[in-house]
Structure 1
């Protein structure tokens, strides 16, 4: 998870029936407990989440999409008005399934307002997954919000998903714009060839890198080994931190790496600073009986 902000990000638990305030000063209440990566607002009664999973086993993460997002200038009557930074709290806190989120999307208006003391209104698109293997992407590029399937199961920052998939096929010399069995076969062949994967900070290169890793690698023998593989892949595309650029608003670097186990509701978290791996489990007792938000140590 990459950001230019220097605010420390840490694992955060939000309980059921958690009362929070959107950046538009509207009060909302969660129905489902959430565990993810977040930070506390200094001027709002809310936590901002960058990724997370709720107690029913659906996940959501936000990534940058500059240049093409289309937010409403003002709240609209009769709509669920949210700022982009409010979206994950709404999606995971108020829905048990991806189908419920998709059904509610036409009622949502994303409004061009800053979250707390943030300097900007961040341009986001979102990737969502569930235990059934479904992965969706939501991109607010104009008109009512809709969710599109993500057959690659991968997303990075800009551009839009369709362009990412086209770039992947172009790189693998596969005709067409769709992610198909030919794309998977080409990814396996490319990885087996020993050719170098694309590197560097450009999101299109990171998308291709991760898609080939995901689809070209052998299946791990167990969940723990798979976690080891994925953390290694994420490290390959992490953006370095430069202390000399700490105060620069355009210094985008990797604050943390995380893996969400949807089946076991485990949030695996490695911060940039200490590289210490934390395993946080959202147990049924935790979801049912904890009544207050909790921010875990970042390190």
Structure 2
């Protein structure tokens, strides 16, 4: 039940932000993965990262490798996975001469082997996503992915057909099911600009915010998408000093609270953490639900060159 967005500040600095909403699991932490890190595809093969990665992930007891949910690589590329139930189409088996991946490892492939959105797009036709288990006694997750880079380029990849395609995302926001085109249609309908150019969506969002009209609320993905799209498109542009903390505040407004009474329910979704990636400064901002402490971890050139093993940071 995640919410994510890209953002550009008044000086042209780019950001990626998201909530990680998931049922009760092992703890999510900031995680560093080094260059040359071998990770299992889940298809009896391993792949090796070319670029160091810093992001949010977890290491479940039965997993052989870190399961990442979002991250930034040393080249300035970001990727995040979000749930897309009831819409994905995965293949049943690996194919010869293709890049065969399970969906849980797709983010490792994106960040570990590419420097730009354009490079990811060029490789997409060769990717075969297989409905295989990645980490032992787990499950095949229905994902779509939001990817951006330091140029401001951004794409969404939704595996609704056997061949993967990149989609433009003019709203700069992504949540869970439905698919992005349906989200955009719903946003246009809400703003009463169904048949107009996208600039009319931006103007309508600005008018909504200026009038101080309440934003859509609730945990339903469509309402969270509309909430964040109106806020992102309609608010005055943030300065570099304002952006990280303000984006974290925006995410807090769509976070899903933890209910201790539902702790042992496998279907209890809640926000485990909020994160903001500052692409300009290669900095990962992380706020865990349990502590609300604002951590800032920079992926430095020295770290990328000299850290040779995965490192799991404390969330507290």
TM-score if structure 2 supplies the norm length?
0.91
Q: Which residue of 1 aligns with 2:201?
A: 183
Question: Is the Cα–Cα contact under 8 Å of residues 56 and 97 in structure 1 kept in the other structure?
Answer: yes
Within 5 A, what are the aligned runs for 1:28-177? 28-117=47-136, 119-176=138-195
Query: Which deviates more, 112-121 or 266-275?
Result: 112-121
Question: Is the Cα–Cα contact under 8 Å of residues 42 and 116 in structure 1 kept in the other structure?
Answer: no
- Please say if 1:210 is aligned against 2:222: no
Shift of 1:41: 4.1
Shift of 1:24: 2.1
- Please say if 1:243 is aligned against 2:257: no
Q: Deviations over 1:52-75 (max 9, x none)?
A: 010010100001111110001122
Instruction: Tell me the secondary structure at the aligned position of residue 67 of structure 1.
Output: coil
Instruction: Tell me the secondary structure at the aligned position of residue 68 of structure 1.
Output: coil
Higher relative contact order (CA 8 A, sep 6+): 2
Shift of 1:77: 2.1
Of 200, 213, 220, the match for 2:218? 200
TM-score if structure 1 supplies the norm length?
0.96
Separation in structure 2 between the aligned mates of residue 28 and residue 134 of structure 1, nearest angstrom: 26
Instruction: Tell me the secondary structure at the aligned position of residue 176 of structure 2.
Output: coil
Shift of 1:119: 3.8
- Where has structure 1 moved over 6 Å in runs of 4 or more? none
Question: Is the Cα–Cα contact under 8 Å of residues 185 and 194 in structure 2 kept in the other structure?
Answer: no
Separation in structure 2 between the aligned mates of residue 214 and residue 226 of structure 1, nearest angstrom: 11
Question: Is the Cα–Cα contact under 8 Å of residues 165 and 179 in structure 1 kept in the other structure?
Answer: no
Q: Which residue of 1 aligns with 2:8?
A: none
In structure 1, the gaps of 5 or more residues are none
Shift of 1:179: 6.4
Q: Deviations over 1:162-181 (max 9, x none)?
A: 011111111111122x7611
In structure 2, the gaps of 5 or more residues are 1-19
Separation in structure 2 between the aligned mates of residue 37 and residue 243 of structure 1, nearest angstrom: 23
Instruction: Tell me the secondary structure at the aligned position of residue 158 of structure 1.
Output: coil
Question: Is the Cα–Cα contact under 8 Å of residues 69 and 80 in structure 2 kept in the other structure?
Answer: yes
Query: Which deviates more, 136-145 or 69-78?
Result: 69-78
Separation in structure 1 between the aligned mates of residue 62 and residue 226 of structure 2, nearest angstrom: 39
Q: Deviations over 1:176-207 (max 9, x none)?
A: 2x761100000000011111111111000000
- Please say if 1:225 is aligned against 2:237: no
What root-mean-square deviation, in Å, do the aligned CA atoms of Structure 1 and Structure 2 show? 1.3
Shift of 1:97: 1.3
Shift of 1:117: 4.0
Shift of 1:43: 3.6
